[in-house]
Structure 1
Amino acid sequence: MFVRIVKMSLHTKHIAEFREMFDEKKHFIRNSEGCKLLELYQDKQNPEIFFTYSYWEKESNLENYRNSELFKNVWAKTKTFFNDKPYAWSVDKKISLN
């Protein structure tokens, strides 16, 4: 399993619309093949900064999602909210705190 972390910085005026869109689409994303977890975080110091964390069984599952119409539509809309370049990392989960 690996983790995908995406950092996004949004214009303040788009935050409410972004959160509404995320709430509408999160169930579809979570039901993508191989997706085990999807969470959204908002920075405590800068409310314009958000992070998504998603856990995937295999990299091919993430790639299949990234090539889906769902992703293309969500990402196209999300990009219009940015006030800075997004950053993404794919990392291997090494330790579980459970």
Structure 2
Amino acid sequence: MEVIVKVDKQGRIILPKDVRRAIGVEGEMEMVCRVVGDRIILEKFSMEDIHKAFSELEEIAPSLELDTVKVEGEDKYVDREYALRKIGIRSIG
């Protein structure tokens, strides 16, 4: 499905009814907004889905519970907050 939407002076858009139906958006709800390159990705926000994804990740890679690990050759540390930012969850909440 592809539609053209207008952006108003305040930067708002309205999701057409067909788009809302296609993704199951009903009434007021929160959505996750990501910018990837020159694209905007909107996804339904669900804490249940996020908890499920983290549970699956913990089963696959239990070492994710480590607090900090220095990355060789870089001046950057990997921690839980950094990991959440990298997968696009840090800005939620």
> Scaled by the length of structure 2, what TM-score is found?
0.27
Query: Which one has more relative contact order, counting CA pairs under 8 Å at least 6 apart?
Result: 1
- Normalising by structure 1, we get a TM-score of 0.26
Which of these two proteins has the greater Rg computed from alpha carbons?
2
